[in-house]
Amino acid sequence: MRLYESGTLRALALLFCCSAAVPGAAWSQEQAYYMVGGERISLRQSNTYRALQMRPDTSVAKRAEFLSSVEAAGIGTIETSPLLIQHGIVLLRIREGVGPAAFSQGVAALSESEPVESENPVYAVAGVDQLLVNEFNVQFASDATPEEMEAVLDAANAEIVSVNEKIPNRYVIRFPGRTAREALDLSNDIAEHDRVDFSEPNFVVIVPARPRVERAGAAPSAPSVPSPTGTPGDPLFSSQWYLNNTGSGAGVADADVDAPEAWDKSHGNSTIIIAIIDEGVETTHPDLQAKIVTPYDATDGDNNQEPNPWDGHGTACAGIAAAVTDNEGVAGLGWDVRIMPVRIAYSNFSGGPWITTYAWIEDGIRTAVDRGAHVLSNSWGGGNSNLVNTAIDYAIANNRVVVFAAGNDAGPVGWPANLSDTKVLIAVSATNEWDQFKTKTSSDGETWWGSNFGPEVNISAPGVHMYTTDITGSDGYASGNYFSNFNGTSSATPLVAGAAALVLAEHPGWTPTLVRNQLQSSADDKGASGFDDQFGHGRLNACKALGGTCDDGPPPTTCSTMGVVNTLSSGQALVNLALLLSSLFLLLLLPVLRRVAPSA
Ligand SMILES: [Ca+2]
Ligand SMILES: [Ca+2]
Ligand SMILES: [Ca+2]
Ligand SMILES: [Ca+2]
């Protein structure tokens, strides 16, 4: 899966996508696949990664010596992760300037080294890379007996690595004496057994590194517009155009989710919890701390999910959904609702890829449900897995609202968001401050990404230039505690999650279907009349979702934002013009910053 923030290294992927399969692979050239649901997922060799399986008895010294020889070969960089070390895998990412054939030949030569047991396949699946190891997740039918399960495993000469303590009839198995590629065929045979729901490789999933869009230094000046009565006192609120767009900065007035009007109706309440299923949330952030409940780390099974210093994505998502409101910093749409941070992945260095597993993600989703999260906010996607699909089913069956980012490829809606046609989840596309669908040429100037679109989009929401929380101090995206420029369907998703939480606070018994219907039917129709593939049922309107009166016009006793714009003095108009010009300058500058930003 990928973080749906500001696009991915798609260009890099495309660079290599047209090369044919290269010689030197140690495994069968027969088309590899695995089954997800009833669908055969074809496995095509990755052009970016190769993996070498070390012999289990390799000494530390021998391993170090081998790694030196890999470095010396100069064909690829070694990816690091405790997960890879645990599997005894040396993972190589192709070095810039090395051709696919040279890469394959170089790896083949290295695989002849004494400490190497085999070369393991790495496959490209729907935008991510999946490394095959000799481990498989087998789910037997709920009514399968121990004898039946044992018979299936014995017939395949499979051995049990671990028994899942939370999920009945679920095992991790391996096939002793087999290469990973041979084991895949055996797993596929097991998958066809009528007592088996699925047998899926325990892939190590490599999520492309995502570009960072850093805007260092001071935040842009907040427009000097008085807040309407009832709006929060957070000093950065006036820069959160997505909550209340006055039109005095970039964009147009009311291209927003009508947050102040929603808050006139409800702040939500602290019994409602949004799980941020991501790379961890900084729980000590002053604008999040009071909101945090029962953090969980699915990457190691404990409750310490604090993000790595460079992993700012989860903290940014959390602030949009439900930052502490009416205090410092930014406001969160879910004013009084709480946040459950759930870490499902992390990168091992700044700008590095996520190296994770579907089993971790499954555990993260299920644990969020078991710990009582009402809304699950998922700003990632890519790949395909029974484990994740069944975890989503589990969440929905337990009446949880599941929100997924559509993706940032300016293409079809990615998995799992694209399951919204068969599962009651909410797939979210992105808009900008002009209420345009986010494309590479929309007025926001972020030319390097466009929102995904298609019939699976349920709703759209703002997803550019999102002011939100950042890991404190120099860590995270920005030098301070806030980030002015978070983006992607990643950022639109927690906004929808925040609105869903407000709806649930008003209607505690509502099913995911009712919540989704309410968000859809109350959205502001944009683009082509009625449902369309870009905006879905429309752009989120949190006020209308609560059944509020959502008139941006001036309340009787105060100046509304519109009112102020309409009664500007010439001096104010000049100030606003200057702000507008500075905003335009920043917009023009951003793509340049993006291009020079380190991408790996
Ligand atoms: Ca508005
Ligand atoms: Ca705040
Ligand atoms: Ca920071
Ligand atoms: Ca429409």
**CATH number of the domain encompassing residue 382:** 3.40.50.200
Q: Which of 490, 491, 560, 583 is catalytic?
A: 490
User: Residue 483 Cα, ligand 4 centroid: separation in angstroms?
Assistant: 31
Tell me, what CATH number does 180's domain have? 3.30.70
Q: How far is 322 from 331, CA to CA, in rounded Å?
A: 7
Rounded to two decimals, what is the model's pTM?
0.87
User: Residue 254 Cα, ligand 3 centroid: separation in angstroms?
Assistant: 29
DSSP string across 169-199: TEEEEE-TT--HHHHHHHHHHHHTSTTEEEE
- Residuewise pLDDT in 10s, the chain (600 residues): 566 665 333 322 222 233 333 333 444 556 999 999 989 999 999 999 999 999 999 999 999 999 999 999 999 999 999 999 999 999 999 999 999 999 999 999 999 999 999 999 999 999 999 999 999 999 999 999 999 999 999 999 999 999 999 999 999 999 999 999 999 999 999 999 999 999 999 999 999 865 445 443 334 444 434 445 568 999 999 999 999 999 988 899 999 999 999 999 999 999 999 999 999 999 999 999 999 999 999 999 999 999 999 999 999 999 999 999 999 999 999 999 999 999 999 999 988 999 999 999 999 999 999 999 999 999 999 999 999 999 999 999 999 999 999 999 999 999 999 999 999 999 999 999 999 999 999 999 999 999 999 999 999 999 999 999 999 999 999 999 999 999 999 999 999 999 999 999 999 999 999 999 999 999 999 999 999 999 999 999 999 999 977 866 444 333 333 332 233 333 333 333 333 333 332 332 233 233 323 322
DSSP string across 305-319: -PPPTT--HHHHHHH
pLDDT of residue 310: 95
pLDDT of residue 250: 86
Let me know: does 53 contact 180? Beta carbons within 8 Å: yes
pLDDT of residue 2: 61
User: Residue 286 Cα, ligand 2 centroid: separation in angstroms?
Assistant: 8
Let me know if residue 27 belongs to a domain: no
> Residues 140, 101: one domain?
no
Let me know if residue 424 belongs to a domain: yes
Domain C-terminal end among 92, 125, 158: 125
pLDDT of residue 135: 98
Q: How far is 65 from 67, CA to CA, in rounded Å?
A: 5
> Residues 147, 113: one domain?
no
User: Residue 245 Cα, ligand 1 centroid: separation in angstroms?
Assistant: 6
Let me know if residue 287 belongs to a domain: yes
User: Residue 486 Cα, ligand 1 centroid: separation in angstroms?
Assistant: 20
> Residues 365, 462: one domain?
yes
> Residues 183, 51: one domain?
no
> Residues 343, 294: one domain?
yes
User: Residue 394 Cα, ligand 3 centroid: separation in angstroms?
Assistant: 35
> Residues 112, 196: one domain?
no
* Number of domains forming the structure of the chain: 3
User: Residue 541 Cα, ligand 1 centroid: separation in angstroms?
Assistant: 9
Let me know if residue 581 belongs to a domain: no
pLDDT of residue 230: 65
> Residues 373, 507: one domain?
yes
Q: How far is CA 256 from CA 143, 235, 259, 518, in A?
A: 50, 18, 8, 18
Let me know if residue 355 belongs to a domain: yes
**Residue 244 CA: which ligand is closest?**
1
> Residues 534, 401: one domain?
yes
Domain C-terminal end among 98, 125, 152: 125
| Active-site residue flag, 270 | no
> Residues 279, 324: one domain?
yes
User: Residue 322 Cα, ligand 1 centroid: separation in angstroms?
Assistant: 18
Domain that holds residue 117: 34-125
> Residues 390, 364: one domain?
yes
| Active-site residue flag, 313 | yes
User: Residue 465 Cα, ligand 1 centroid: separation in angstroms?
Assistant: 17
pLDDT of residue 229: 55
pLDDT of residue 568: 32
pLDDT of residue 536: 98
Cis geometry, peptide bond prior to residue 512 (ω within 30 degrees of 0): no
Distant-in-sequence contacts of 370-374, Cβ < 8 A, 24+ apart: 371/293, 371/294, 371/296, 371/340, 372/273, 372/294, 372/340, 373/273, 373/274, 373/275, 373/340, 373/342, 373/400, 374/272, 374/273, 374/274, 374/400, 374/401, 374/501, 374/504
Burial class, 393, CB count within 10 angstroms (exposed 0-12 / middle 13-18 / buried 19+): middle
User: Residue 255 Cα, ligand 1 centroid: separation in angstroms?
Assistant: 6
Q: Which of 234, 278, 311, 336 is catalytic?
A: 278
pLDDT of residue 213: 52
Q: Which of 87, 285, 313, 374 is catalytic?
A: 313
At residue 337, what is the residue type?
V
Tell me, what CATH number does 87's domain have? 3.30.70.260
Domain C-terminal end among 102, 125, 148: 125
pLDDT of residue 29: 54
pLDDT of residue 215: 44
Let me know if residue 25 belongs to a domain: no
**Residue 319 CA: which ligand is closest?**
2
| Active-site residue flag, 278 | yes
**Residue 325 CA: which ligand is closest?**
2
Q: How far is CA 161 from CA 50, 134, 202, 204, 481, in A?
A: 25, 10, 11, 16, 43
Let me know if residue 541 belongs to a domain: yes
**Residue 290 CA: which ligand is closest?**
2
540: alpha, beta or left, given left = phi > 0 and alpha = psi -120 to 50? beta
Let me know if residue 232 belongs to a domain: no
> Residues 85, 149: one domain?
no
pLDDT of residue 208: 84
Q: How far is 261 from 273, CA to CA, in rounded Å?
A: 22
User: Residue 550 Cα, ligand 1 centroid: separation in angstroms?
Assistant: 8
> Residues 43, 189: one domain?
no
Q: How far is 52 from 89, CA to CA, in rounded Å?
A: 6
Distant-in-sequence contacts of 587-590, Cβ < 8 A, 24+ apart: 587/250, 587/444, 587/445, 588/445, 590/213, 590/215, 590/445, 590/446, 590/485
